[in-house]
Amino acid sequence: MYIKITDKKEIEKYQKIFLNILHNNDKTETFKNHKVGFQGGSRKCDVFWFTKLKYWYAFRIIKNRRYWNVFGLEYPKENDNSLSIIVEINFSFCGGNTGGILAKDDKTGKIIIAHNGKITITGIPNGKEIFWEHYNGKRVNINNKEKALIGELNSSNFPTNVRDFIIEVGRIKNAKGM
């Protein structure tokens, strides 16, 4: 059974591992201070493009409350318009309610990353409902609640699992007219 990780130090540890795995498994191009857009605004941050897997990633700490991990599929050209976020895989410092979930198998100790399905679809108030109606990926039970499995953190396939999850969320959003 998977148990959600709520300890701040463990979350910090696995956030660092998450970043290291992404950066060490593909050649990246860095776009400094690139604009990333979200519903209600935008933010400038460093964006990393994974050249083989063809997705971008940006990271920030928000108000000392959560790790903001955002992903998209469009190539981030220099001095280009704002990048559109397809999905956020955020972790709360204390395991609170964010889209991203770190969990540990209580028997094997394996760490997985999952998502609660809460996505933003412009003009549609119930993104989480839409997500679960249309999600075709693997599911996992964490603390007796169904979540979308992104992948096992230390798996050699993890960066590809992240890309596949981004594509799946993009498919759901495109089907709903985003």
Give the pLDDT confidence of 8-23 residue by residue, as tens digits: 999 999 999 999 999 8
Structural domain total, the chain: 1
Which helix H or strand E contains 139, and what residues bound it?
strand 139-142
Q: Which residues contact 100 (CB under 8 A, 6 or more apart)?
A: 67, 69, 88, 89, 90, 91, 113, 114, 115
Give the pLDDT confidence of 34-89 residue by residue, as tens digits: 888 776 777 888 999 999 999 999 998 988 789 999 999 999 986 567 898 999 99
Residues 46 and 33: beta-carbon distance below 8 Å: yes
Domain extent for 159: 2-175
